[in-house]
Structure 1
Amino acid sequence: MSTEAAPSTSVESPMRFRHNRHQNIRVSHDGTVARRVNSSFFSRGLVFGTRPVKANERVTFKLMEVTDNLGAFVYVGFTSHNPDNLKGVTCQHLATHSGYWSWFFPKDLCTQNTLLFFYLSAEGVVHYGVENEEKGAFDGRVKQAELLWPLFSIFGNSSAVRLVDAPRGAELRPKPNRKLVPMKLHSTHSRNVRVCKNAAQRLDAKYSQGYVFTDRSIKPGEALTIQISPGLKGRFAGLLHLGVTSCDPASLDSDDLPDNANCLVDRPEYWVLICDFSDLNCNDEIGLCLSETGQIGFHVNGSKFKGVVHVDATLHLWVFLSVYGTTQPVQLLTCPEQVKDEEKECVVCYDNVIETALYRCGHTCMCFECAVEQWQGKGDGHCPLCRAVIRDVIKLNK
């Protein structure tokens, strides 16, 4: 008869791995280490936590055993299924069955004995980081109507994971809710989209000419939120162009706009294509903010950083969207709070601050050394955010 203690369900107890001898995993006696037994089965390394997580509670871990010949990988995520009731579940269930949410932890962070963490925010966004520093958020959202257990799939040449107890009080506190108010869309729009106040609905079976504009120019210090298919359910591979223009929509003949939004920069007015978003899902949110000096920062689902673009702040700038693919509908909200310039980390090395702008796309996302390497070296001359061809690297004066 097994003397193994029943898994604790107390949210105050330390997070541990659940013992499960029916899989290719062995868990240490104290529950802190999970090891894949048969290394020839690279994908049979599924293991669950012993209790549900709290909102903003960090799940912290290290990769203990990593071989050098191939990359180390680990899936992390959550399930709404109580692991006590699961039998015969495999890694394939993570992608094909409901009630599972999982992501590859970024490969460049998966080095041996590096302290990694992830956590679920109160809004259902899963954030991740390394050595007590946030690095971003995974795509999509987790449904929070039920209890959620953390899960790991120890994959590839990472064969053992150790859970690390976070220090007392290390749970992240949610930020105060901002007051969002609807931002009206302009009556001028392209032919394949309907506009009603702050919402735009692209016509069914029409996949281009979905341009909409804000009813007024954006103010310096203002933040916008773009909600994708709010209130709907399901997952899809939605697409959205986002940018700003000095062209007053009231003076615009929308029939003159190109099907391909990338061609907008060839028009005589000032058009800046900030980002071409892909793989959007229902209830995703894109945030955009304009600082007093013309720095536009944008992110997805509250992640710490997605990108920065510098624009001409002396102009009146309207925000525009091109709703295409399977994205529909969208709505705009605004938060009239002051937005300040911040020193952001280079998206390549994560060590130096951003100090360059790329010509012609305008993205400011790298330090000078990484930008030159991206332009003339291993980056093949393409912007890491939008994949536009880099024509030149401009060092910013601060």
Structure 2
Amino acid sequence: MGSFFSTLLGDYTQVPYVPLAFHPDTKGSQIILDASQYIATRAATFRDGLVFSNRPIKVNEKVTLEILKEDGRWFGGLRLGFTSEHPSLMNSRDLPPYACPNLVKQGACWASVLPDDYVGEGTIVSFWVNRKGCVFFSVNHEFDYYLLLEDVPVKKPLWAVMDIYGRTKAVQLVDPSRPKIHMNESSEKLLNASGQNGEYLERALLKKHI
């Protein structure tokens, strides 16, 4: 309990290191997490795919994602950024459908759209915020990096925000401190199940609006 409240107050010196994963509870209504909480899949439609990191991200700490699966029926892809609001204090039912512009307009969130050139299946995307509040991203571990957004207040604790939107169907967090998780049978079943559930949910949504 003490560690939890010290995290809320931004005192991380007494909190032991926690491996980076997706927040287990606060997520968009279409998000399915695997047992490890390293793989996030959007079940249906092209929206309601918000996910957050399970802990604050340090300045210059890279958050790295691999795009595992695409859905070619949609346009656009990942939205990336940071929030100063603790995900544990959010209610998943109150989350907006999109990071941009909805969550950004609510305040305490800074996010932007990843260019379409970098949302292909198999692409590895890293993003981070520097001491000046500039958010950069790079792809496939290349040396070159690009500015994504500016003016993020780094004096506050920041959690990563990722919107699994549009073409992007499933992503995996890649942590350099642990071996890469390869798609196993259970992960394949998760992706296949999400696709089947997605088709059912999309038909239900269409019927609702007819």
TM superposition score normalised by structure 1: 0.38
Of residues 125, 128, 138, the one that matches 1:119 is: 128
4+ residue runs over 6 A deviation: none
Contact 2:28 2:48 in 1 (8 A): no
Q: Which residue of 1 aligns with 2:32?
A: 26
Matched residues in 2 for 1:74 and 1:146: separation?
24
Match of 1:108, SS state, is helix
What SS does the aligned partner of 2:104 have?
helix
Question: Structure 2 CA distance, aligned partners of 1:101 and 1:141?
Answer: 8
Q: TM-score, normalised by structure 2?
A: 0.69
Task: Report the Cα offset of residue 12 of structure 1.
Answer: 3.0
**Closer, same or farther: CA 71–125 of 1 in aligned 2, 3 Å:** same
Maintained 8 Å contact 1:11/1:52? no
State the alpha-carbon separation in 2 of the partners of residues 97 and 69 from structure 1. Answer: 29
* 1:73 matches 2:77: yes
Counterpart amino acid of residue 66 in structure 1 = E
2:104 pairs with one of 95, 98, 105: 95
- 1 CA distance for matches of 2:33 and 2:160? 15
Match of 1:105 in 2: 114
8 Å CA contact retained: 1:72, 1:111: no
- Map Cα deviations across residues 52-106 of structure 1 (whole Å, 9 max, x no partner): 0011100000111113354450111100000000011212542311100001112
CA distance in 2, matches of 1:148, 1:60: 16
Asked if 2 retains the 8 angstrom alpha-carbon contact of 1:11 and 1:51, the reply is: no
In structure 2, relative to structure 1, the CA distance for the partners of 1:43 and 1:25 (3 Å cut) is: same
Report if the CA contact (8 A) 2:110-2:152 is conserved.
yes
Distance (Å, rounded) in 2 between the aligned partners of 1:55 and 1:22: 26
Structure 1 unaligned segments of length 5 or more: list them: 1-5, 169-398
Q: Which amino acid aligns with 2:120?
A: T
| RMSD between aligned residues | 2.1
Q: In the aligned structure 2, how far is the partner of 1:11 from the partner of 1:34?
A: 25
Percent sequence identity is 28
Shift of 1:161: 1.0
For 2:74 and 2:16, the matched residues in 1 are separated by 37
- Which residue, 159, 175, 188 being the options, matches 2:169? 159
CA shift, 1:164, in A, is: 0.4
Q: Which runs of 5+ in 2 are unaligned?
A: 8-14, 179-210
Helix, strand or coil at the partner of 2:164? strand
Q: 1 or 2, which has the higher strand percentage?
A: 1
Q: CA 1:11/1:58 → structure 2, altered by over 3 Å: closer, same or farther?
A: farther
Partner of 2:53: 49
2:88 maps to which residue?
Answer: 84
Partner of 1:345: none
Determine if contact 1:11/1:53 at 8 Å carries over to the other structure.
no
How far residue 22 of structure 1 moved from its aligned partner, in angstroms, is 6.7
Q: Could you tell me which of 154, 158, 162 is aligned with 1:144? A: 154
Q: 1:11·1:54 contact (CA, 8 Å) conserved in 2? A: no
